[in-house]
């Protein structure tokens, strides 16, 4: 005897009432097994893999990539052998009670598998797990045909590409071939993390009056210390970059400007100040910008900060960062220094009220105390503050305190 099992969107986290569909890994007619990975959803910047609950055959899917689905909504119908437990069976409508609204039949149908063409230069769509596999196999995702919704590359697509012997294609250089005009136009619906980023940035820009403050930092002595510490580090210690020193400087400077280490609720007019420094580090990942958080940085030494920074960054880029690791920051650091740029104007990571931007380091001539011109290693810090909470004077006091600590790095350890 065959029965129908109606699989509902599960509870994917405390306080989460809805999630966005990112990718289905099954289609109507597929045979599924208990605990099989069938769906990816996005919630609070974390991608969650949804497993199947029973063995059977998929008869209907409700929702397409980009749709927001409430927890408890029926999203997958499965034909199973035998009787379905009473609590999972399709509900019966009591004639004495109002009828339950039926499943909407106008939900976007799951498209039949088809290989989607992808114009040169267009970013391939794929889940974090697929991207990680491709990276490990040294495969350029742009070369892999996608059969998922909107041309999304699935695990099966990657398997087929590997089985066919596909690998990176080297582009031939030189020659005087005629150049053709580029006429391709693509439209891409923002879903998942990119949509969340768009919404958050738009809200911050609309609602927060910010002030920018840029200061030049002489990091010559700090770079000498960093090089010395790295030359003496143990095998179990993470190589030091500039960021751990900036995190340490903030942990020492913020107690003098506590309103900058805070959250502000503009609707309730409530400012929440934090004694602990939970430092968010903006990280570019294959799926967009994420902000993993170093919790209680004030309690960590320089090596512990570096190790935590490396661990969180790797987890975010692999799509493995937990929800708790991507939330709870009280101040954020963003760095484009490795790419370049003299000045940036970073957008606040609301509800925080301060963000510090790191720009490129360069060697420039400067006068010393004796009036001689000497080469110095210099870097600009570009900071932005919520001007409703942090006055310009207080912003300057904080950055000057950070400047003093970084220019005299021994004081970081006193």
Q: Kindly list the catalytic residues.
A: 387, 391
Evaluate whether 260 touches 254 at the Cβ level (below 8 Å): yes
Find where tokens 């913020």 sit: 254
Structure token digits, residue 236: 């179990």
Element at 160 (helix H, strand E): helix 155-163
Residue 364 forms beta bridges with which residues?
376
414: Cβ–Cβ under 8 A, 6 or more apart, which residues?
Answer: none
With the C-alpha atoms ordered 313, 318, 320, 324, is the resulting torsion angle positive or negative? Answer: positive
Query: What's the full length of the chain, in residues?
Result: 414
Query: First vs last Cα of the chain: how many Å apart?
Result: 75
Helix and strand numbers (H, E) in the chain are: 7, 18
231: Cβ–Cβ under 8 A, 6 or more apart, which residues?
Answer: none
Residue 383 forms beta bridges with which residues?
213, 356
């Amino acid at each position: 005897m065959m029965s129908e099992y109606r699989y509902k969107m599960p509870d994917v986290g405390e306080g989460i009432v809805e999630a966005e569909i990112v990718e289905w890994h099954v289609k109507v007619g597929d045979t599924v097994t208990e605990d099989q990975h069938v769906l990816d959803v996005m919630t609070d910047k974390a991608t969650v893999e949804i497993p199947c609950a029973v063995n059977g055959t998929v008869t209907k899917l409700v929702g397409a990539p980009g749709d927001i689905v409430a927890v408890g909504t029926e999203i997958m119908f499965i034909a199973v052998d035998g009787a379905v437990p009473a609590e999972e069976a399709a509900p019966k409508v009591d004639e004495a009670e109002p009828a339950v609204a039926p499943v909407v039949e106008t939900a976007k149908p799951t498209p039949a598998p088809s290989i989607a063409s992808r114009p040169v230069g267009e970013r391939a769509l794929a889940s974090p797990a697929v991207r990680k596999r491709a990276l490990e196999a040294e495969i350029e995702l742009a070369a892999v045909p996608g059969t998922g919704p909107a041309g999304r590359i699935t695990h099966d697509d990657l398997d087929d590409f590997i089985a066919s012997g596909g690998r990176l294609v080297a582009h031939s250089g030189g020659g005087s071939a005629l150049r053709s005009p580029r006429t391709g136009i693509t439209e891409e619906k923002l879903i998942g993390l990119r949509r969340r980023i768009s919404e958050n940035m738009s809200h911050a820009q609309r609602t927060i009056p910010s002030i920018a403050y840029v200061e030049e930092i002489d990091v010559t002595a700090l770079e000498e210390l960093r090089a010395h510490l790295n030359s003496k580090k143990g095998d179990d210690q993470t190589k030091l970059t500039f960021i751990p020193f900036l995190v340490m400087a903030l942990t020492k400077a913020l107690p003098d400007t506590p309103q900058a280490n805070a959250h502000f609720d503009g609707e309730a007019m409530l400012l929440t100040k934090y004694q602990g420094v939970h430092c968010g580090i903006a990280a570019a990942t294959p799926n967009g910008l994420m902000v993993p958080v170093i919790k209680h940085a004030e309690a960590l030494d320089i090596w512990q900060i570096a190790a935590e920074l490396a661990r969180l960054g790797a987890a975010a880029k692999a799509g493995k960062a937990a929800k708790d690791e991507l939330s709870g920051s009280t101040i954020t650091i963003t760095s484009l220094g490795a790419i370049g740029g003299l000045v940036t104007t970073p957008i606040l990571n609301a509800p925080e009220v301060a963000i510090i931007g790191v720009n490129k380091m360069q060697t420039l001539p400067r006068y010393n105390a004796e009036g001689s011109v000497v080469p110095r290693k210099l870097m600009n810090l570009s900071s932005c503050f919520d001007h409703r909470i942090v006055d310009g004077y207080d912003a300057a006091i904080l950055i000057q305190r950070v400047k003093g600590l970084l220019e005299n790095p021994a004081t970081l350890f006193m």
